[in-house]
Structure 1
Amino acid sequence: MTKQQHIGAGEAGGYEEAVRIPVFPDKTFYVTDFGAVGDGVTSNTRAFNVALEVCSSAGGGTVVIPKGLWLTGPIQMRSKVRLHAERGALVTFSRNFDEYPLIRSNYEGLKAMRVMPPIYGENLTDIAITGPGIFDGSGEAWRPVKKFKMNDRQWKEIVSSGGFDDGNGMWWPTKEASEGRQVTEALQAEGVTDLSPYEPYKVYLRPVLLGFTSCNGVLLDGPTFQNSGSWCLHPRLCEHVTIRHVTVRNPWHSVNGDGLDLDSCRYANIHDCSFDVGDDAICLKSGKNEQGRRIGVPTEYVTIRDCTVYHGHGGFTVGSEMSGGVRHVEVRDCTFIGTDNGLRFKSTRGRGGVVEDIRVSNVWMKDIVHSAIVFDMYYEIRQEYAEMVPVSEETPIFRNIRIQDTYCTGAKKGIFLRGLPEMPLDRLTFERVTVSADEGITCIDAQQIVFREVQVHAKSLPAYTERSCSDIRFIGADGEEVRVPQHPTA
C-alpha cells in the first residue's frame, strides 16, 4: 500500500505525517544590503523584491528583514526563498494604490480581477515566511465599513476622515469603490478580460494580505499577519502547506476579514495558531458553483490542531464555497472563545460538491453568539424551509462527519442541523458532546444521525426538535438507545 493510499484510508495521524516541510539552503541575504531602510518612510518595494530575486537566482536561501519599520509595496515571493522577519520588524504595506497592479485571479471561489496581494506568489516551489515579525496590510485603506457595526462616535470619525458615505449604511474609501461591484460584475458578465476597464475600481477589488496560488511546499512559521484589505491568508491550489505558530489579527468589524481560507489545497497542517478576526477564522473552501466543480480540486488531507480563536463568524468553517469538495480532515484540540459560531458547516443549492470524512475532537467553546455546532444548507437564504427539487450536480452533499469529546458553555443554539429536502444531511455522529445553550438540538432534513452520550443543557423547551428526519438515534453511555430528550436538561 502506498503512502497516499494509506492516508486516504483516514488513519489517525496519517494526514499530518504526509505533509512535506520545505528546507532551504544555508545562505543569508539582508534586505539592508539591497538598499532597504527601516525608517517607516522610505519605500522598500524595489529593495525587498531584488533581495528575493537575487536569493532565488543564487539557488535559494533566507532573506532577512531586521528590526525596524519597513514600508513597502507588494512583495513577490520567489522559489526556494525563506523570508525571515526578525523580532521587532514591522512590515507595513503601502497605502498608495498605484503600487498594486491588477491581476487575473480568483476570489470567493470565482475567477476575478483583483489587486495583487501585498504578499504574492504563483507557481512556486518551496517558499516560507518565518520569524516573530509583523506584516500589516494597511487594510483600513481598502475596506468598506458597515454603519451598524459602529457606534455614533466611530461612524462620525470614519465619515469625517474622507472617503464616501453611500447613504445606505456603508462607508467606502472612494466613490469608485462604492460603484465597484455593479461595474465590475457587469464587465465580467460581458467577458471583459482586459484589465484597464477595471482600473478605476481598483479599491473595490481590494487584496487579500497573502495570496499563494499553485505553490508546492509552503511554510508560514512565527509571524503575525494583520489588518488585511480582505481575507488575510489565502493559499489556493497549493500542496504541502504548513502554517504553525502564526497569529492572525483583523478588526472585528472588517468586511470579509477572514483569517485563513485554505482553498483547493492538498496536504496541509495548521497548528498552534491564534486567530482574532472579522469573519470566518479557519475556513476550508474549494471553489464556487460551476467554476468550482469544473476545476474539481478538493481540499483534502488536512490537519488542524491546537489553535485558538477569539473572534470570528466561525471558529472552524467548511464552505460556503466548497464545490470542489472537502474531505479527509482532522480537527482537534482547539479552543473558540466568543466566536459567532463554533463549528460551522455551510452551503446552499447551486454549489454541488461533497463534504465528507471529517473528524472533530477535543474542541472547547465558550460564549458562542449563535450556534455551537451548525450544519446549514440555506446559506444566505432567508426562507426557513424549501420545497424539494430534483437532485443534480448543483446539490451539495454533507455526509460521514464525526464530532466527539467537544464541549460548549454558553450559546444561543446548541446543535443546529438543516439539510435540504432532496439531500438530507447524512451519517453525522456526535459522541460525548456537552452543550449548554438557550436552545438545544434542532434537526431538519437529516438522516442516520447518532447522538451518543450527548448532554444538552437547554434553557427553553423542548430540548430537541426535528422536522422531516429519519433514523435519529440517541444512545446512552451503556450503549442502549435512550428516549429523545424533551426537557431542558437531557
Structure 2
Amino acid sequence: MDMTRRDLTLGLAALALPFSAHAARRFDVRDHGARGDGVTIDSGAINAAILAASLAGGGTVILPRGRYMCFSIRLQSRVTLLLSQGAVIEAADPARHAGRYDLPESGIDQLYQDFGHSHWRNSLIWGDDVTDVAIIGPGMIHGIGLTRDGPGARWKKQAGERPLSMRAMTQAQIDQLEPDARAMDGLGNKAIALKNGRNIRLSGFTILKGGHFAILATGTRALRIDGLTIDTDRDGIDLDCVRDVVVERCRVNSPNDDGIVVKSSHALGSAIAAEDIMIRDCDVSGYDMGSLIDGTRTTRQQTAPDQDRVTGRIKLGTESNGGYRNIRIEDCRFTRCRGLALETVDGGVMEHIVARGLTMRDVTTAPIFLRLGDRRRGPDGTGIGAIRDVMISDMDARGIDHRFPATIAGLPGHPITDVTLRAIHLAYDGGGTAADAARQPAELADAYPEPSMFGVLPAWALWARHADRLTIDRFTAETRTPDQRPPFMIEDVQSISVRNTPLWR
C-alpha cells in the first residue's frame, strides 16, 4: 500500500462516519479512472465509483487530495462521499470544457416558483429520492463553472413577483438576471440539489461560489447539515418543503441573497409544509463574496441585485404555499446582513416559531420582519395565510439602519396573532425626521415582502400594524444620534401587553 492510500485508510478509520455500515467497503475514485489533476473531466469516474458502492450494498467513496474537474455527479443510496483534506470538486464550465451538466427535468410546470426551485438535475451534485447518503470531510466544492442565474416563475399575475426595490431596473437588466429557460440547457446552477430522499448528512466541507443555490433540499426528510462553510454568490442553504431537519454550526456568507432560508413552494406539485426544523449555532453574513473563506471579510459591495443593501440573513419565505410549522432558530449570529425575516404571502400558515439567542451587528434592513401578505402565487383557490404563535427572545442587535424598525405587518381583517417579543435590545444609527414620523405606509398587500417595501417607517424601534395578542416584555432600544420619530407606533392591534419597557408611553 502506498503512503497516500495508507494515510487515507488511517484517516477514514479515525473519521466518525454518519452511517457506520458504509465504512466496511471503500471505493477510491482513482481506481475508477479519476485523475484529480484539475484538467481531466472526472465526473464519469466519480459516478462509476458511486454506482459501484451503491450496488455493493453501500460504501464510502473517497476523493483523495487533488482537484477534480466535474460536470454532474449523481448521488446513489447507501453511499458516503468523502472529500479528503485538499480534495476539491471543481464545477466545469460548458463554455470552456468538453461536456455539459445533466439536463433539467422535463414536464415540470414551473408556474408558481422560479426555474431554480423547479429543477434539481442541472447541478454539480444531485440526488433524487436517495436514502442513507452523506457528503463529508474537510475538502471543498468550488462552483466556479456554475451560473447564478435562471428564469423566474411563469405566474401570470406578476404582482409580488419581484421586490419593489427593483422597480427602477430596466427590462434588459432583469433579463440578464432571468434568462430564458432554453438557455439553461447544459448549464449547472446549483452546487448540491436534493429532491425528496431521507437520512442525508452533509458535514464538514466548504462550498465556494455555489450558483443559484449552494444547497437546495426539496421534500427531503431527516436531513442533517453541520459544520459547513459556504461563501457564495446567491442563496446559501434552501430548505423547501422539508421535514425533520437540523442545520448547526454552519457559516454562510451570501451578500446577494439569503443565507439560510426555509420555504414551502409548489415545486413538488402541491402545497407541502416545511416543519420540524432546527437552525442553531450558525453565522450568516453579507461580506464580499469569497472574503469569508480567505479571512479578509471585506465590505466593498453595498447593494444586492434587488437594489437593497446586502442580504445574508435567516429567513422563512418568500415561497410559502404550504406554510411552516415548528421551526426553531437558536443562538445564531447575523453580521453585516439583513435581519430575521418571517414571511408568508402565498396562502400558507406559519405557526409555532421560536427564535432565541440572536446576535446582530451592522444590520442592513430591519432586525425583525414579520409579514403576512396577499400575493397568492398559487393555484386558483389559494387564500390568505396566517402567522400565529411566534416567540422571539434574548436578542441583541446593533448598528441598525435607521429606516427599518422591527416590523410586524399583517393585513386588515387578517392580523398576525400571538407574537411575543421578550428581552430584545435594538441599537439604531438614528436620524429619522419629523416628516418620516408623519408617513402613512400603504398596505401593499400583494407586494413582494421585504422590509424596504414600506419605505422609511414612522417609528424607529417597533412598528406594528394589524396584529392581535402582542406581548412586549423587556424591550429596550437606543439611537446613536437623535431621531424625531416616536420609538413605537402601534396601529390596529387589538390586544397588547407591555411590561418592563422603559421607552413605552
Alignment TM-score > 0.5, same fold? yes
State the SS of the aligned residue for 1:103.
Answer: coil
Match of 1:297 among 263, 267, 272: 272
The answer to whether the 8 A contact 2:120-2:195 is kept is no
Residue 417 of structure 1, CA deviation: 1.1
What per-residue deviation string (whole Å, max 9, x for no partner) do you get for residues 16-74 of structure 1?
A: xxxxx644422111111111011100011210100000011111111011111110111
The answer to whether the 8 A contact 2:147-2:212 is kept is no
Q: Equivalent residue for 2:289?
A: none
Q: Equivalent residue for 1:409?
A: 398
Q: Equivalent residue for 1:148?
A: none
Structure 1 residues 429, 313: CA separation in 2 closer, same or farther (over 3 Å shift)? same
Between the aligned partners of 2:68 and 2:138, the Cα distance in structure 1 is: 15
Match of 1:286 among 264, 267, 273: 264
Q: Equivalent residue for 2:202?
A: 220
Structure 1 residues 106, 284: CA separation in 2 closer, same or farther (over 3 Å shift)? farther
Structure 1 residues 75, 206: CA separation in 2 closer, same or farther (over 3 Å shift)? closer
Structure 1 residues 31, 106: CA separation in 2 closer, same or farther (over 3 Å shift)? farther
Question: Which structure 2 residues correspond to residues 360-375 of structure 1 after superposition, within 5 A?
Answer: 360-375=355-370
Alignment of 1:265 with 2:266, yes or no, is: no
Which segments of 5 or more consecutive residues in structure 2 lack a partner in the other structure? 1-17, 151-169, 287-309, 431-459
The answer to whether the 8 A contact 2:352-2:389 is kept is yes
Between the aligned partners of 2:409 and 2:357, the Cα distance in structure 1 is: 24
Structure 1 residues 245, 353: CA separation in 2 closer, same or farther (over 3 Å shift)? same
Q: Equivalent residue for 2:352?
A: 357
The answer to whether the 8 A contact 2:487-2:503 is kept is no
The answer to whether the 8 A contact 1:320-1:379 is kept is no
Structure 1 residues 86, 114: CA separation in 2 closer, same or farther (over 3 Å shift)? closer
Total equivalences in the alignment: 399
Between the aligned partners of 1:54 and 1:106, the Cα distance in structure 2 is: 34
State the SS of the aligned residue for 2:262.
Answer: strand
State the SS of the aligned residue for 2:400.
Answer: coil
Structure 1 residues 401, 178: CA separation in 2 closer, same or farther (over 3 Å shift)? closer
Moved more, 405-414 or 310-319: 310-319
Percent identical residues? 24
Between the aligned partners of 1:170 and 1:139, the Cα distance in structure 2 is: 22
Instruction: Give the aligned CA root-mean-square deviation in angstroms.
Output: 2.8
Between the aligned partners of 1:323 and 1:167, the Cα distance in structure 2 is: 28
Moved more, 326-335 or 307-316: 307-316
Q: Equivalent residue for 1:101?
A: 102
State the SS of the aligned residue for 2:339.
Answer: strand
What per-residue deviation string (whole Å, max 9, x for no partner) do you get for residues 421-476 of structure 1?
A: 13111111011111112421001111111111111224422000122222122112
Q: Equivalent residue for 2:59?
A: 61
Q: Equivalent residue for 2:143?
A: 137
The answer to whether the 8 A contact 1:120-1:210 is kept is yes
Match of 1:435 among 426, 430, 439: 426
Between the aligned partners of 2:383 and 2:261, the Cα distance in structure 1 is: 21
Q: Equivalent residue for 1:12?
A: none
What per-residue deviation string (whole Å, max 9, x for no partner) do you get for residues 302-353 of structure 1?
A: 11111011226252100111211211111111111011x21111233xx101
Question: Which structure 2 residues correspond to residues 4-19 of structure 1 after superposition, within 5 A?
Answer: none
The answer to whether the 8 A contact 1:23-1:126 is kept is no
Match of 1:468 among 488, 492, 498: 492
The answer to whether the 8 A contact 1:38-1:69 is kept is yes
The answer to whether the 8 A contact 2:372-2:411 is kept is yes
What per-residue deviation string (whole Å, max 9, x for no partner) do you get for residues 135-194 of structure 1?
A: 0122565548xxxxxxxxxxxxxxxxxxxxx9944694xxxx8651xxx4xxxxxxxxxx
Which segments of 5 or more consecutive residues in structure 1 lack a partner in the other structure? 1-20, 145-165, 185-197, 382-391, 477-481
| Letter aligned with residue 362 of structure 1 | G
Q: Equivalent residue for 1:423?
A: 414
Structure 1 residues 330, 466: CA separation in 2 closer, same or farther (over 3 Å shift)? same
The answer to whether the 8 A contact 1:314-1:343 is kept is no
Residue 379 of structure 1, CA deviation: 8.8
Structure 1 residues 266, 220: CA separation in 2 closer, same or farther (over 3 Å shift)? same
Q: Equivalent residue for 1:241?
A: 223
State the SS of the aligned residue for 1:474.
Answer: strand
Q: Equivalent residue for 2:37?
A: 39
Alignment of 1:457 with 2:434, yes or no, is: no
The answer to whether the 8 A contact 1:115-1:207 is kept is no
Q: TM-score normalized by structure 2?
A: 0.73
Q: TM-score normalized by structure 1?
A: 0.76
Between the aligned partners of 2:465 and 2:265, the Cα distance in structure 1 is: 26
Residue 408 of structure 1, CA deviation: 0.4
Between the aligned partners of 2:392 and 2:189, the Cα distance in structure 1 is: 35
State the SS of the aligned residue for 1:364.
Answer: strand
Structure 1 residues 139, 371: CA separation in 2 closer, same or farther (over 3 Å shift)? farther
State the SS of the aligned residue for 1:51.
Answer: helix
Structure 1 residues 167, 401: CA separation in 2 closer, same or farther (over 3 Å shift)? closer
Between the aligned partners of 1:411 and 1:106, the Cα distance in structure 2 is: 41
State the SS of the aligned residue for 1:321.
Answer: strand
Question: Which structure 2 residues correspond to residues 155-234 of structure 1 after superposition, within 5 A?
Answer: 168-169=172-173, 172=176, 179-180=179-180, 184=181, 198=182, 200-202=183-185, 207-234=189-216
Between the aligned partners of 1:447 and 1:356, the Cα distance in structure 2 is: 14
Structure 1 residues 364, 411: CA separation in 2 closer, same or farther (over 3 Å shift)? same
Between the aligned partners of 1:77 and 1:59, the Cα distance in structure 2 is: 14
Structure 1 residues 113, 326: CA separation in 2 closer, same or farther (over 3 Å shift)? closer
State the SS of the aligned residue for 2:47.
Answer: helix
State the SS of the aligned residue for 1:320.
Answer: strand
